[in-house]
Amino acid sequence: MSQTQGAVKTPPDPALEQAFAWCLVLTALVAGYFTFARAWDKLASPHWPEAQAEVLRSSMYQRTGRARDWCLKLSYQYQVGGQVYQSSAMGVSRIGDAGCHREQAVTERRLQRLRPGALMTISYKPRAPETAAAFIIGLDPLDYGMSAIVLIVFGGGVRALRRLRKLSTL
């Protein structure tokens, strides 16, 4: 007796499906940790204490790629509780638009105010004063997008695990 083509579908391997579902869940948890830690610092940073910092070096560059913004590059030192710290962090996160603007003239004006020796106000993390930010910005589209992706991947993994559990009880 012959089978018609496409009529017989081989069942998926439940163990492989379960391993894949757990990979989705674990990947989402790891990515979620970094995504939400980044967002948490951005949400908390407006409440960070401030300190006066001295600009050590300053320059300007244009980004390559799709976003051709003009950005500042700073190095500054500041003092908290008698301890001197040095940083070149523009924002709370390494990824983002802190210190950048699409118009060159705006960035040039900022650069004029932030020449070496100039004083500026920075914000620092209260429990880790070595973590500072020259510019405080809020959540950006990357934060929202990564949070959505993490939630979708996590939800997909949990859904697959629930479906497999339901199939195993039948």
Question: Could you report the per-residue pLDDT of 108-147, keeping only the tens digit for each?
Answer: 999 999 999 999 999 999 999 999 998 877 887 888 999 9
Amino acid at position 112, single letter: Q
Entry pTM? 0.67
Res 10: pLDDT: 44
66 and 128 both lie in a single domain: yes
Distances (CA, A) of 36 to 44, 64, 134, 157, 167: 12, 27, 21, 19, 33
61 and 126 both lie in a single domain: yes
Residue 11 within a domain: no
125 and 65 both lie in a single domain: yes
Through-space distance between the first and last CA atoms of the chain, rounded to whole angstroms? 30
61 and 124 both lie in a single domain: yes
Residue 79 in contact with residue 122, Cβ under 8 Å?
no
Sign of CA dihedral 136, 141, 146, 147: positive
DSSP letters, the chain, are: -PPPTTT--PPP-HHHHHHHHHHHHHHHHHHHHHHHHHHHHHHHGGGS-EEEEEEEEEEEEE--SS---EEEEEEEEEEETTEEEEE---SSSSSS-TTEES-HHHHHHHHHHT-TT-EEEEEEETTEEEEEESS-----HHHHHHHHHHHHHHHHHHHHHHHHHHHHH-
Residue 4 within a domain: no
Res 112: pLDDT: 93
Residues 6+ apart with CB under 8 A from 146: 31, 35
152 and 97 both lie in a single domain: no
100 and 157 both lie in a single domain: no
Token output for 93:
């996160």
Residue 12 within a domain: no
Residue 160 within a domain: yes
Res 6: pLDDT: 52
29 and 58 both lie in a single domain: no
Res 100: pLDDT: 83
115 and 153 both lie in a single domain: no
72 and 114 both lie in a single domain: yes
Residue 71 within a domain: yes
Res 97: pLDDT: 67
| Number of structural domains in the chain | 2
Token output for 25:
């869940």
125 and 152 both lie in a single domain: no
Residue 150 in contact with residue 29, Cβ under 8 Å?
no
120 and 87 both lie in a single domain: yes
54 and 38 both lie in a single domain: no
Domain range holding 22? 17-42+145-169
d(CA 77, CA 130): 10
Residues of the chain with pLDDT under 50: 8-10
Res 8: pLDDT: 44
Residue 123 within a domain: yes
